[in-house]
Amino acid sequence: MNRATLNLWVGFFVLLGFVAFLMLAFKVGNLNLDGSGGTYEVVAHFDNIGQLKERAPVRSAGVLVGRVHSVRFDTLHYNAEVRMAIDTQYHFPVDSSASVLTSGILGEQYVGLDAGGDDKMLKNGDELKLTQGAMVLERLIGQFLFNKAQDGGADKTSNR
Amino acid sequence: MKGTWGHGLRTVGDTTLRIVERIGAVVLFLGQILRHSGTSFRRFGLVIREIYFAGVQSLIIILVSGLFVGMVLGLQGFETLQSYGSSESVGVLVALSLMRELGPVVSALLFASRAGSAITAEIGLMKATEQLSAMEMMAVNPLARVVSPRFWGGVFSLPVLATLFVAMGIMGGFLVTVIMLKVDSGAFWSQMQAAVDFHHDIVNGMIKSIVFGVAVSAIATFEGYEAPPTAEGVSGATTRTVVSSSLAILALDLLLTAFMMKGWN
């Protein structure tokens, strides 16, 4: 086989591989290079984060606006400190609130942001004051049973 | 009784030492290839020729098996996920299993049996017919002229083949689940896009296939270069290439996966 045909085939091979890689990166991996790329970081303290992990989505109104950057235990306040990287194209008022939510019944956990009404916007390094931690099933059941028992007791006393 | 025990133990020790010796020899050989790689890059035509034989000629088998593996994954995944009412996630299953494991591993196994064995047989036969000695007589280093281009050809080809395998597999999964089983096309792609991460899945898969490419090519060229110069020797070397590359691929895969998993959390 002569040199030119060989080069042609190898060129075709490499091009095919490159196209496949691009398809994987953009169509499957959803890699987006469309500008922004930049993020700013906000901190939030939760009393309980449930199963929240690094790289978990941060959503507002269901739209992906950022990702959880790091999760660590705050030894000063004895709660969980979550740092989130929010896309610079999304701005939130400083009195926005964050809560740990679950997608579906058994789905992954994510941070939901609810915008507040302040004029000032969050900057890099700011802290979200209003937070709500994850719902823990055992505690919910415990609370439910507790309330039920209390109601039952109240009913009895009123009947008497 | 004591004699049999001692004999058995000696056999185990002997086999272990021989395996370790073999691994050491392959690593040393790899070092020699790298030292003599200059020619391959100065005369890149040599490598291109090997990419043609190792890569382009393996295209058909890789593309077809990728398509079939993807289709089977789609069928099996659909069957199981449907009982949980989440058949849309089948795209995630197909994409992640192909990118993280099946793509690099299966294409490396196919590559070892399709191209690795051919490399071993070619070099072994060159040695048996004293072509390598003839080169040395002409002051041409066979490591630089024969072995290293084949090594680099393999190292370049395998990642490309693995990428094509994954792409083809995802197409196969799409064909079976979306076209045949009527899974919603939008959900198929969007769930896949939400779950697949460029760095953690695609790049790590590429790293795996590059490592496998180095391992398979080093083993194949080593077995050919060290083959006893007889018909029997070459046939034995070809078999050993396939067996030891397959084992090396699976063992390295476990190791790499363990390391990469650690990086996720």
| Beta-carbon separation of A29 and B56 below 8 A | no
Residues of B in contact with A14 (CB under 8 A): 51, 160
Separation in Å, CA of A78 to nearest CA in chain B:
22
By the 10 Å C-beta count (0-12 exposed, 13-18 middle, 19+ buried), A137 is classed as exposed
DSSP of A70-125, one letter per residue? Answer: EEEEETTTTEEEEEEEEETT---BTT-EEEEEESTTTS-EEEEEE----SSBP-TT
| Beta-carbon separation of A20 and B167 below 8 A | yes
pLDDT tens per residue, range A51-81: 887 778 888 998 888 888 888 998 998 999 9
Separation in Å, CA of B29 to nearest CA in chain A:
27
| Beta-carbon separation of A17 and B197 below 8 A | no
Mean pLDDT of A1-15: 87
Establish if A17 touches chain B: CB-CB under 8 angstroms. Answer: yes
3-class DSSP assignment, residue A67: strand
Residues of A in contact with B170 (CB under 8 A): 24, 28
DSSP label of B57: G
Separation in Å, CA of A53 to nearest CA in chain B:
8
| Beta-carbon separation of A29 and B52 below 8 A | no
Residue B6, in any domain of the structure: no
Taken in order B132, B138, B139, B144, is the CA torsion positive or negative? Answer: negative
How does the average pLDDT of chain A come out, rounded? Answer: 83
Establish if B20 touches chain A: CB-CB under 8 angstroms. Answer: no
Residue B158, in any domain of the structure: yes
pLDDT of B2 reads 61
Residues of B in contact with A54 (CB under 8 A): 265
ipTM (interface predicted TM): 0.79
pLDDT tens per residue, range A105-126: 666 788 999 988 888 888 888 8
Establish if B169 touches chain A: CB-CB under 8 angstroms. Answer: no
Which residues in chain A (36-65) have CB-CB distances under 8 A to chain B?
A: 53-55
Residue B187, in any domain of the structure: yes
Spatial CB neighbours of B113, under 8 Å, sequence gap ≥ 6: B242, B246
Between A and B, how many residue pairs show a Cβ–Cβ distance under 8 A?
Answer: 69
A31: nearest CA partner in chain B: B198
**B248-255 contacts at long range (C-beta below 8 A, 24 or more positions apart):** B248/B215, B248/B216, B248/B219, B249/B105, B249/B108, B249/B109, B249/B112, B249/B212, B249/B215, B249/B216, B250/B105, B252/B208, B252/B211, B252/B212, B252/B215, B253/B101, B253/B104, B253/B105, B253/B208, B253/B212
| Beta-carbon separation of B99 and A24 below 8 A | yes
Residues of A in contact with B265 (CB under 8 A): 53-54
pLDDT of A154 reads 61
DSSP label of A132: E
- Which of A28, A58, A106 to substitute to test the interface with B, most B CBs within 10 Å? A28
Residue B18, in any domain of the structure: yes
A8: nearest CA partner in chain B: B52
A25: nearest CA partner in chain B: B198
Per-residue pLDDT of chain B (265 residues; tens, 9 = 90+): 567 888 889 999 999 999 999 999 999 999 999 998 888 888 888 899 999 999 999 999 999 999 999 999 999 999 898 888 788 888 889 999 999 999 999 999 999 999 999 999 999 999 999 999 999 999 989 988 899 999 999 999 999 999 999 999 999 999 999 998 888 888 888 888 878 888 788 899 999 999 999 999 999 999 999 999 999 999 999 999 999 999 999 999 999 999 888 765 5
Establish if B170 touches chain A: CB-CB under 8 angstroms. Answer: yes
Residue B228, in any domain of the structure: yes
Full residue range of the structural domain in which residue B184 is found: 13-264
Nearest to B163 among A9, A17, A55 (CB): A17
- Counting the structural domains of chain B, the total is 1
Place of tokens 């020619």: B39
Separation in Å, CA of B148 to nearest CA in chain A:
18
Establish if B59 touches chain A: CB-CB under 8 angstroms. Answer: yes
pLDDT of B220 reads 95
pLDDT tens per residue, range A132-146: 888 777 888 888 898
Residue B3, in any domain of the structure: no
A28: nearest CA partner in chain B: B193
Residue B1, in any domain of the structure: no
Q: What are phi and psi for residue A87, nearest 5 degrees? A: -60, 135
